[in-house]
Amino acid sequence: MQNNLKKVALIGQPNVGKSSLFNRLSNKRIAIVSDVAGTTRDIRKNEIQIIDRSALLLDTGGIDETNDEIFVNVKAQAIRTAKDADIILFLVDGKNIPDDKDKELFYELLRLGKELALVVNKIDNDKELERLWEFFEFGIGDENLFGISVSHNRGTKKLYEWIYDKLPENEETVKAQEEQKRIEALKEEFGEFYEDDDEDFSTDELEKIEDEESVLDDTSINVAIIGRVNVGKSSILNSLVGEKRSVVSSIAGTTIDPVDETYFYKDKKITFVDTAGLRRRGSIEGIEKFALMRTKEMLEKANMALVVLDASRELTDLDEKIAGLVDEYGLGTIIVLNKWDENMDTFQKLEEEIRRRFRFLAYAPIIAVSAKTGRSIDRLKDKIVDIFENYTQRISTSKLNKVIEEAVIRHALPSPNGARLRIYYSTQFSTRPPRVAVVMNKPQLLHYSYKRYLINFLREQFNFEGTPIHIVARGKNSNIDDEGYLEQE
């Protein structure tokens, strides 16, 4: 552990989430890496790394203003740690109104003259974010006030950026940035990119910050089987899991008794969610409303969807509305034509109609099956696994940049109103579905038609069958956030 690292101290009352933030910043579930003995309680410390910059993170005991000897010593130790630190993160509980004890501690820390951030934890949703304004009475500026939820990993990227900016630059990164500038200058000379408006560019990789603790399981697939009544969803489910169902477990639902069946196939745990028994007396409008409501509940839990259509009957507007929800939720998708044995001579005609009506699912393969005879059911199983792998894949930054550069060379960026656009670099910052950020000088001017071109070009180079691709145009200093900055394509 290096001795010249800048020290970041976590200070606050008990139960405000210091240890949880310690774990989050450490990217470890067990926070204690090495212990330094204290007077009454240990100071936990760990060397952390944010992108390419390192620091020594110090976690202190909760400060309680009681006369108990233990807490008196804990406070004294915490204040000593704060004095020795370069950066202080003062945590408070966002579930409560500003506390006088917190204010006293904050002002005491403020007098130390350190880099100080007020971190309001337990801001778990947008509604609770409104309470953040109450903490401006501490007298702190907006740039040093952070509303986060450690448990939900909300707002942490902005805090990471703040800490990152306070840490010394990594020499190797500086050299790499200078080399990148040199390469880009050569590219500009050869016309591969438009000139920027005399802006200095620094390769900021903060958008690569990801939720390290939210490691997604790549062996479990949740598949929603959706479609209007009587298209054969239950029959397809039975065919997929088999009649014996020896490795299947049934789980009762909370509403209208949906049927969940788990089936193990090719080292994958595939859970199918079916809307068995979607029948209801009443008007057509009532049935439609009911079907859409239940489908939304299923899609919230799923990462893949089988859109089941009846090949023996004409498509309806309800088919189109239900399919539209799949695109809205960004799921891996397969269009399944059931009862194909009853209408085997018109596949091309029906496929053309599906592509015309479901343009938003142009990326989804169409498979014709017969739940009655078992035709193409095994092919459907294989395709589910293949699409899920496409849905969860991550393209390396180097490969992605090479492809985007080639796309720009083939079809130059537009110049809206004479403005010269330039893409600095690209990176895939999340999966399920794949989301790609193109970092550029004027992101607000990148037209959706050019995003669509980039998406189609990516599909030509990589196997993204069955999965949507989202392109996000962003500036150098903006944050990538799944809630606030995504532009879905």
- 475: annotated binding-site residue? no
Q: Is 60 annotated as a binding residue?
A: yes
Distance (Å) of CA 189 to CA 183, 184, 197, 330: 10, 9, 15, 40
Task: Tell me if 307 sits within 8 A of 332, measured CB to CB.
Answer: no
- For residue 230, say whether it is annotated as part of any ligand binding site: yes
Query: Is 13 labeled as ligand-binding?
Result: yes
Give the orientation angle of helix 233-241 with respect to helix 377-392, to 10 degrees. 90
Q: Is 121 marked as a binding-site residue?
A: yes
Residues 6+ positions from 36 with CB-CB distance below 8 Å: 42, 43, 45
23 annotated among ligand-binding-site residues:
no
Q: Is there a binding annotation on residue 227?
A: yes
The tokens describing 479, both together, are: 């944050």
Cβ neighbours of residue 41 closer than 8 Å, sequence gap 6 or more? 61, 70, 73, 74, 77
By residue count, the chain amounts to 489
The response to whether 163 counts as a known ligand-binding position is no
- 17 known member of a binding site: yes
Q: Is 59 known as a binding-site position?
A: yes
The answer to whether 14 is a known ligand-binding residue is yes
Q: Is 170 annotated as a binding residue?
A: no
The answer to the question of whether 232 is labelled as a binding residue is yes
Residue 276 assigned as binding residue: yes
Q: Is 404 annotated as a binding residue?
A: no
* 340 known ligand binder: yes
Strands 34-36 and 43-50: antiparallel
Whether 346 has a binding-site annotation, put simply, is no
| Beta strands at 250-252 and 304-310: parallel, antiparallel or unpaired | unpaired
Residues 6+ apart with CB under 8 A from 327: 333, 360, 361, 468
The verdict on whether residue 12 carries a ligand-binding annotation is yes
Q: Is 144 annotated as a binding residue?
A: no
63 is in an annotated binding site: yes
15 is in an annotated binding site: yes
Separation of alpha carbons 104 and 383, rounded Å: 61
Is there a binding annotation on residue 158? no
- Check the annotation: does 157 bind a ligand: no
Q: What letters, b where the CB count within 10 A reaches 16 and e where it falls short, cover 87-102?
A: bbbbbbbbeeebeeeb
- Is position 476 annotated in a ligand binding site? no
Residue 228 labeled ligand binder: yes
According to DSSP, the β-strands at 43-50 and 53-59 are: antiparallel
Q: Which residues are annotated as a binding site for GTP?
A: 12-19, 59-63, 121-124, 227-234, 274-278, 338-341
Q: Which residues are annotated as a binding site?
A: 12-19, 59-63, 121-124, 227-234, 274-278, 338-341
